[in-house]
Amino acid sequence: MIFSAEEQFALQLDSEDPLRHFRQKFHLPLGKDDRPLIYFAGNSLGLMPKAARAIVEEELDNWAKLGVDAHHATGTPWYTYHEALREPTARLVGANSLEVIYMNSLTVNLHLMMATFYRPTKSRFKILMEEPAFPSDTYAIKTQIVHHGLDPKDALILARPRKNEFIIRTEDIVDLIQKHADQLAVVVLAGVNFFTGQLFDVERITAAAQAYGVVVGFDLAHAIGNVPLSLHDWNVDFAVWCSYKYLNAGPGAVAGAFVHQRHATNRKLPRLAGWFGNDPNTRFRLHLEPEFVPVSSADGWQISNPPIFAMAPLRASLAIFDDAGGMEALRTKSVRLTGYLEFLLAENGSKKFTVITPREPDARGCQLSILAHEHPKELLKELETAGVKCDFREPNVIRVAPTSLYNTFHEVWRFARILAQHQ
Ligand SMILES: *Cc1c(COP(=O)(O)O)cnc(C)c1O
């Protein structure tokens, strides 16, 4: 697509945007002038779907009116509440419905998946992850290693960008896999890196590792709801994600996990168990059935009864993704929106910052990471004063994530103009 830096062009793109009506489905935070902020922080906390309030209130009402009976009452009984999330989520991540489950929060799910899939032996004990990774993932992986009596110095391998580069080359990841093939147990990477916005080649990396019998898991915190995924077909072993970023399900919303069918149906796999992972046929026989019999699906990794109030907004949010036509439709707009942002930043031609996100649309999601060479914190302050909500990552990166569901081309245009004025 040929872009233009004229304001009229941005307005034109908005008027032709088939998804433009979805913005009205969200509460847009207002700035000091009572105008909506240019909210480019959906990679941090997605905006609240207007439908979320009613859906949460419905469950509060059910609690008020029905008490414990709400677990089995008509409508959306709490006991099977997660079933309503299954199909729309399977569509988002490219899974079949037995492979996905919502439970806990993201880092907890990463630990639970590692409890199953990281079973180090004397010869195979290493984990490969990326650097920089989100700190919670680094803490989780390092403590997993320590938990098994090993030392991260020996067991942790980091895939890094080359000197003077920001992006981790796929061939370098594959080289590391091959170099450590005999000792490598698990590869854990982000789908989209939180810092640079790099979208990893999930399919190729998975195939490269599995060729050596290595298990491959992905943290999709920045990928789900952002880019199309085909976890089942790509043969990914496991994945985890949170729901409060691009999924717009609210702060601390219940997180998700994917376990590939070939593992999900394997009841022999070790796991950290709780009663909600147990076969529903015997779950309520309680102390009469002390033997844990896992459900033969991703549900078998559930531990506790699900947090209904944290799940309710997710129902509202997932319905929006379906209404919008799913990830393919959203991605078409997203590629254009971010491409337009990149174009306008290049038009400004500033030497004061560098976009460190990959240039190829296939190698990124919606986020652009802007490395400010001078006074990054002041620049961020100026953006905020001008009504932009984005975020800052130490030491000098401003992350902007225009989303297909609630951002506009005109906001991208205004953002680029504000940035140009303040550099
Ligand atoms: C947002 C994010 C987290 C946050 O973890 P929680 O357990 O939800 O607090 C972890 N990892 C990555 C990669 C993230 O982007």
- What is the per-residue pLDDT for 280? 85
pTM: 0.97
- What is the per-residue pLDDT for 86? 96
- 177 C-alpha vs ligand 1 centroid, how far in Å? 25
Mean of pLDDT over the chain: 95
C-beta of 332 in contact with ligand 1 (< 6 A): no
Which of 179-188, 225-234, 296-305, 346-355 has the weakest average pLDDT?
A: 346-355
C-beta of 194 in contact with ligand 1 (< 6 A): yes
- 68 C-alpha vs ligand 1 centroid, how far in Å? 33
The better pLDDT of the pair 420, 40 is held by 40
Whether residue 131 contacts residue 159, with contact meaning beta carbons closer than 8 Å, is answered with yes
- Ligand 1, closest atom to CA 136? 10
C-beta of 337 in contact with ligand 1 (< 6 A): no
Residues 307-320, mean pLDDT to the nearest whole number: 96
Torsion of CA 202, 206, 207, 213, to 10 degrees: 180
Look-up of token digits 């872009």: 3
What Cα–Cα distance (Å) separates residue 82 from each residue in 71, 89, 127, 312? 12, 11, 32, 10
C-beta of 242 in contact with ligand 1 (< 6 A): yes
- Mention every residue, 6+ apart, whose C-beta is less than 8 A from residue 408: 10, 14, 17, 20, 23
Residues 83-92, mean pLDDT to the nearest whole number: 96
Please determine, for residue 284, whether its predicted confidence score (pLDDT) is greater than 90: no
Residues 218-246, mean pLDDT to the nearest whole number: 98
- 111 C-alpha vs ligand 1 centroid, how far in Å? 12
- Ligand 1, closest atom to CA 245? 1
What are the counts of helices (DSSP H) followed by strands (DSSP E) for the chain?
A: 15, 13
C-beta of 136 in contact with ligand 1 (< 6 A): yes
- Ligand 1, closest atom to CA 108? 7
User: Residue 262 CB: number of other CB atoms within 10 A?
Assistant: 11
Q: What is the pLDDT confidence band of residue 286, given thresholds at 50, 70 and 90?
A: low
Please determine, for residue 259, whether its predicted confidence score (pLDDT) is greater than 90: yes
User: Would you give the DSSP letter of residue 213?
Assistant: T
Best of 242, 247, 248 for a ligand 1 pocket test (most atoms within 8 Å of beta carbon): 242
Q: What is the pLDDT confidence band of residue 290, given thresholds at 50, 70 and 90?
A: confident
Residues 29-52, mean pLDDT to the nearest whole number: 97
In order of start, what are the domains of the chain with their CATH numbers? 7-47+326-421 (3.90.1150.10), 56-322 (3.40.640.10)
pLDDT tens-digit series, residues 166-222: 999 999 999 999 999 999 999 999 999 999 999 999 999 999 999 999 999 999 999
Q: What is the pLDDT confidence band of residue 276, given thresholds at 50, 70 and 90?
A: very high
Best of 134, 248, 399 for a ligand 1 pocket test (most atoms within 8 Å of beta carbon): 134
Residues 347-356, mean pLDDT to the nearest whole number: 86
The better pLDDT of the pair 354, 73 is held by 354
Q: Pinpoint the alpha helices (H) of 123-260.
A: 135-147, 152-155, 170-179, 202-210, 231-234
- Return d(Cα 59, Cα 172) in angstroms, integer: 49
Please determine, for residue 57, whether its predicted confidence score (pLDDT) is greater than 90: yes
Best of 43, 102, 103, 107 for a ligand 1 pocket test (most atoms within 8 Å of beta carbon): 107
Please tell me the residue having the least CA distance from ligand 1 atom 1.
Answer: 221
- 40: helix, strand or coil: coil
C-beta of 219 in contact with ligand 1 (< 6 A): yes
- Ligand 1, closest atom to CA 107? 7
Q: What is the pLDDT confidence band of residue 375, given thresholds at 50, 70 and 90?
A: confident
pLDDT tens-digit series, residues 120-156: 999 999 999 999 999 999 999 999 999 999 999 999 9
- Return d(Cα 383, Cα 389) in angstroms, integer: 8
Please tell me the residue having the least CA distance from ligand 1 atom 14.
Answer: 221
Please tell me the residue having the least CA distance from ligand 1 atom 13.
Answer: 134
Please determine, for residue 423, whether its predicted confidence score (pLDDT) is greater than 80: no
- Return d(Cα 198, Cα 124) in angstroms, integer: 29
- What is the per-residue pLDDT for 244? 98
Tokens of 92: 């988002």
| Widest distance between CA atoms in the chain | 72
Please determine, for residue 351, whether its predicted confidence score (pLDDT) is greater than 90: no
Q: What is the pLDDT confidence band of residue 348, given thresholds at 50, 70 and 90?
A: confident
User: What does the angle CA 126 – CA 241 – CA 92 come to, to the nearest 5 degrees?
Assistant: 120
Whether residue 232 contacts residue 96, with contact meaning beta carbons closer than 8 Å, is answered with yes
- What is the per-residue pLDDT for 263? 98
- 60 C-alpha vs ligand 1 centroid, how far in Å? 28
